[in-house]
Amino acid sequence: GWFDPCPLNPNPKIDGLQIEWKDKTFLNFPYSNPKPWIIKAIEESKKGKRIVILMRFDPTTEYFRMLIENNAHIFYCGERLKFINPEETINYSSPFPSILVILN
C-alpha cells in the first residue's frame, strides 16, 4: 500500500516531516506551507523511494523550480479538481489548477 505522511485526520503525536517515509508515499500536504514538504519529498526520493504528490499548480514558486531541478515528472490535471465530502451533499471545486508530481 501507499504511505501518507500527512493524512486528513493526522495523529498529533506523529510529524510527517520528521519521520522516515515508506518506499511508496502519496502526499497531499497542507497548501498553506508547501516548501518543507517539497524539500522532504526530494530528500526521500533520493533514498530510492517513489513519491507521488497532488499539489497546486504554481510554476512561479521556488519549490516548483526545486521539483524541476530534481527531475520531477509533472502531470497537469486539466481542470480544477472536485472534492467530495461524504458527510455533505455539496461537492467542492478547487479554486486553482492542480498537478500530479512523481519523484523517483
Chunked mean pLDDT (size 10), the chain, 104 residues: 86 87 95 94 98 96 97 93 79 89 96
CB-CB contact of 4 with 26 (8 Å): yes
The confidence score (pLDDT) of residue 102 equals 98
Q: What is the pLDDT of residue 30?
A: 85
| C-alpha grid cell, residue 68 | 524541476
Secondary structure E strands in 6-71: 24-27, 50-56
| DSSP assigned state of 42 | H
pTM strictly above 0.95: no
Q: What pLDDT is stored for residue 83 in this prediction?
A: 80
